[in-house]
Structure 1
Amino acid sequence: MLEVSIPTPHRYVRGKSNLMDAISFVLGEKTSNLRVKTLRDLIHGAPVGKPAANRAFVSMVYSEEGAEDRTFARVIVGGSSEYKINNKVVQLHEYSEELEKLGILIKARNFLVFQGAVESIAMKNPKERTALFEEISRSGELAQEYDKRKKEMVKAEEDTQFNYHRKKNIAAERKEAKQEKEEADRYQRLKDEVVRAQVQLQLFKLYHNEVEIEKLNKELASKNKEIEKDKKRMDKVEDELKEKKKELGKMMREQQQIEKEI
């Protein structure tokens, strides 16, 4: 916490607003918040057209134990401001950055409590007070990083939910695929059994056909043998018949010869 000690004369009761303006001025406060229209009006006598000088400045020394003192000064030159750190002229943003390192935020006006500021804060709505406290505490600087991290967290949660449901769906698909594979295997087994049964049936039919054919062939061979035997008998009968015919012819010729002789 930054502590500021400002020595004042004994029984100092007047000009406190001027002192507040001086502190605000050296800490980089805007002209519009210093109860004047222009920077020149801050010079004593300038508002009535009788400036005591053509320039004015306020210097502030920051002391820290174990470190070198640092001097901050803001000078009115003409109608503009000049900023110095340790007597070196710097740009306003450099001046502001060095003050911010000390915890003094110009935009947040966290270094002084102005008249009516407490009442003004009390009149703000919760959202406005939150924004003010964030600015004073500089937590607002982390808002972008916070929003980024929050989005990352939300995305991570969404990804987690997505992956959970995806894994759940994959598990269901695997279970369904397993069941389908089991059904396919069962169907293939039944199909193979049907094919084997059909092959066995055809082999059975073929075997019985061969047996029947062999039986018929045996019967045919037997019939052929009988026919051959009958043929041989017929040939023998025919031969005997021929012999009988020859004998009959011979007997008839002999008979005719006898009849002629008679």
Structure 2
Amino acid sequence: MNSMILGRYVPGNSILHRLDPRSKLLAMIAFIMIIFWANNMVTNLLLFFFVFVLIFLSRIPLGFFVKGLQSMIFLIAFTTLFQLFFISGGKIVFQFGVITVTEVGLEQAGIIFSRFVLLICFSTLLTLTTMPLSLADAVESLLKPLVVFNVPVHEIGLMLSMSLRFVPTLMDDTVRIMNAQKARGVDFGEGSIFQKVKSVIPILIPLFASSFKRADALATAMEARGYRGGHGRSRYRQLKWTLKDTAALISIFGLGLALFLLKS
């Protein structure tokens, strides 16, 4: 649980920290779209180089990104191995009984692994360099044209900001409850699958209880401060688009053009 860093913000003054959250969010969306053009070694190496340059510019220790990967290691391993052993085609590279590894399976496994790592690193970079409230403001600002269709844009931004804000808190609560249960003799790692699922119940019940209690306290605090929704509300944090934000988006589109030209 300690490896979960979603929603955590690392204060800094790097060029990525100073970018408008809207540009970083748009860059993330564009990155997700163009990453599927990387279907060979050259394009994937180009993406890894681009991400490592961004990590260097962020001045955030590499350990944060390793923790982000650790929290998803099971999904990455399962998907990669599925591609490796169940995709056939091309020359057989390795065979042992019913297990067969082919060139096509090896290539697809490498591509899927690279996509997972790149997406997790880029999304981790987004959350580590952007305050959750600023990210929610960016979502609300980008969705603002939908107000004409009666879409509750402000409420969507508010829910997003609360979700991102309390993810680390819930993870900390989970770790604290698990440590308390271990001190009482509960073992979460032994027994059959049914015993392991049963051992999770002592975690879920107090976790839900503390979550509802925190939500009720938050609602009371918002009402006490006169919160009545987004209509007519002013904004303390003003988003400001600069030339650096335009340059950041141009670099993403330039990367996409290079991938399109170099893809197989």
| TM superposition score category, shorter chain reference | under 0.3
TM-score (structure 1 length as normaliser): 0.18
Higher strand residue share: 1
Per chain length, whose mean CA-contact separation is higher, i.e. which structure has more relative contact order (CA < 8 Å, sep 6+)? 2
